[in-house]
């Protein structure tokens, strides 16, 4: 199934490129390497995302998240809440600012730098957008998107300066974020103890390499008369293609997981509003009944059997965490109390030398 989803998603991307570029009329053949790397990344990301969704816990959250979100009695409230969370969690990164200013700044800068770079690069590579001279004066451009003219701007105008240097601004954001993250990984005691090269350093190195080589291209043609431009272009292509090929297998895959996890928050909201589970030992509420029922089902799917075949209680999850700890302590105490006391060895009196 995952392979079929990956192939279908990749095929849709190919169709979108063909249609958006008007049968490749606006497709730049020099960028074919980027295109094939993107198609490979599309297949890999779709494949891994499908595998991730097939895991019992993820599948349960995915199904329940959509069910509680689309409930007719709370759909309006959920839509409003979704917009708020989209702004606070996704656009503002509130979840990571709470973990520290440096972490929040690094993540926010890298994220927006990558978003800006992607929004510019992929439409250009796929031929979805290109620029044409507006008239014979060659002083203005018209942006053409999917074959339709969208807007015009002067070459030397402020919009033109911002548009043609969009990747420069994106590189500055990414480099600043990477530098903050690198400093934290080098001086932070918690980061130094837990960090791994593949998960923590490699994505930063790749993003830094892409940004710096992209900036060097601008420096080469703007201030160095094109010196070493071909070498820099090949180096930049290698860094970008390498990052795209690695994306489905590394930490950058969380870019596609994180939006799906918004459903967990709606699941928790529905759980707080719904019936609560009461502990069979202390009769106290300790979690939502929906969560406990789903947890029991997921454990059974994973092969964990905590069922009680006899008695009035059917499953161990019906006991709250506090009572589980108390039960373990009580059982240990009973075992120690009932254990036989070992006999003490007899100590003979030392021989007398008098």
Q: Is 70 exceeded by the pLDDT of residue 348?
A: no
Distance CA 41, CA 253 (A): 10
Instruction: Provide the 10 A C-beta neighbour count for residue 220.
Output: 18
Please report which confidence band the pLDDT of residue 135 belongs to, taking 50, 70 and 90 as the band edges: confident
Which stretch of DSSP H or E encloses residue 94? Answer: helix 94-97
pLDDT score of 14 more than 60: yes
Alpha-carbon span 121 to 255, nearest angstrom: 17
Helix 56-69 to helix 262-273 angle (10° resolution) is: 70
pLDDT band at 163 (very low <50, low <70, confident <90, very high): confident
Per-residue model confidence (pLDDT) at position 235: 94
Question: In this predicted structure, what is the pLDDT of residue 343?
Answer: 55
Supply the pLDDT for residue 81. Answer: 92
DSSP bridge pairs for 153: 141
Which is more confidently placed, 175 or 329? 175
Closest CA to 21 of 117, 104, 110, 128: 128
Interhelix angle 56-69/75-85, rounded to 10 degrees, is 120
Q: Cβ neighbours of residue 333 under 8 Å, at least 6 residues apart?
A: none
Residue 120, classified by CB atoms within 10 Å of its CB into exposed (0-12), middle (13-18) or buried (19+), is: middle
How many percent of the chain have pLDDT more than 70?
96
Q: What's the predicted TM-score (pTM) here? A: 0.83
Residue (of 64, 69, 88, 89) closest to 79 by Cα position? 69
Rounded distance, CA 77 to CA 60, Å?
Answer: 22
Q: Is 351 a residue whose pLDDT tops 60?
A: no
Question: What are the backbone dihedrals phi and psi of residue 129, each rounded to the nearest 5 degrees, phi first?
Answer: -140, 140
Phi, psi of 135 (to 5 degrees): -150, -175
Rounded to 5 degrees, φ, ψ at 24 are 70, 15
What proportion of the chain, given as a percentage, has pLDDT over 90? 55
Dihedral angle sign, alpha carbons of residues 70, 75, 80, 84: negative
Q: Average pLDDT, stretch 10-32?
A: 90
pLDDT tens per residue, range 266-318: 999 999 999 999 998 899 999 999 999 999 999 999 998 888 877 777 888 99
What's the rounded Cα separation, in Å, for the pair 54 and 248? 17
> Residue 65: is its pLDDT beyond 50?
yes
pLDDT at 345 over 70: no
> CA–CA separation, 150 vs 100, rounded Å?
42
The answer on pLDDT for 349 being more than 60 is: no
- Of the candidates 307, 324, 305, the residue with the CA atom closest to the CA atom of residue 315: 307
pLDDT of residue 354: 43
- For 128-165, where are the alpha helices, taking DSSP H only? 158-164
Q: What is the mean pLDDT of the chain?
A: 89
pLDDT tens string 219-247:
998 898 889 999 999 999 999 999 999 99
What angle in degrees, to the nearest 10, is found between the helix axes of 202-223 and 101-126?
60
C-alpha separations of 321 from 141, 143, 170, 286 in Å = 66, 61, 48, 8
Pair 110, 173: CB distance under 8 Å: yes
Please compute, for residue 141, the number of CA atoms within 13 A of its CA located in the half-sphere on the CB side. 16
Per-residue tokens: 306? 């905590």
* Residue 148 bridge partners (DSSP): 145
Residue 259 has pLDDT above 60, yes or no: yes
Please answer whether residues 185 and 200 qualify as being in contact, where contact means their C-beta atoms are separated by less than 8 angstroms: yes
User: Which residues, 6+ apart, have CB-to-CB distance to 182 below 8 Å?
Assistant: 204
């Amino acid at each position: 199934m995952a392979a079929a989803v990956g192939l279908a998603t990749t095929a849709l991307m190919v169709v979108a490129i063909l249609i958006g570029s008007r049968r490749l009329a606006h497709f730049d053949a020099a960028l074919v390497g980027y295109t094939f790397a993107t198609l490979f990344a599309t297949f890999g990301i779709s494949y891994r995302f499908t595998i991730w969704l097939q895991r019992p816990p993820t599948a349960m959250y995915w199904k329940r998240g959509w069910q509680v979100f689309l409930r007719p009695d709370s759909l309006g409230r959920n839509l409003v809440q979704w917009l708020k969370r989209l702004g606070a969690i996704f656009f503002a990164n509130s979840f990571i600012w709470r973990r520290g200013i440096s972490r929040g700044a690094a993540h926010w800068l890298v994220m927006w730098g990558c978003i800006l770079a992607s929004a510019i690069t992929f439409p250009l590579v796929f031929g979805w957008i290109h620029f044409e001279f507006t008239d014979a004066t060659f002083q203005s451009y018209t942006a053409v998107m999917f074959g339709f003219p969208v807007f015009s701007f002067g070459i030397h105008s402020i919009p033109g300066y911002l548009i043609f240097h969009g990747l420069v601004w994106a590189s500055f954001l990414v480099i600043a974020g990477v530098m903050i993250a690198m400093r934290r990984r080098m001086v932070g005691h918690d980061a130094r103890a837990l960090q791994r090269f593949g998960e923590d350093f490699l994505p930063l190195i790749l993003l830094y390499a892409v940004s710096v080589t992209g900036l060097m291209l601008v420096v080469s043609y703007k201030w160095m008369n094109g010196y070493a431009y071909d070498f820099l272009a090949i180096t930049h292509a290698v860094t970008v293609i390498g990052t795209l090929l690695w994306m489905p297998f590394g930490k950058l895959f969380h870019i596609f997981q994180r939006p799906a996890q918004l459903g967990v928050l709606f699941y928790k909201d529905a759980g707080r509003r719904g019936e609560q589970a009461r502990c069979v030992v202390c009769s106290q509420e300790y979690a939502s009944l929906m969560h406990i029922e789903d947890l029991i089902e997921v454990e059974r799917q994973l092969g964990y059997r905590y069922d009680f075949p006899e008695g009035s209680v059917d499953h161990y999850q019906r006991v709250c965490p506090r009572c589980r700890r108390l039960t373990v302590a009580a059982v240990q105490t009973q075992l120690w109390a009932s254990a036989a006391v070992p006999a003490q060895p007899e100590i003979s009196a030392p021989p007398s030398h008098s």
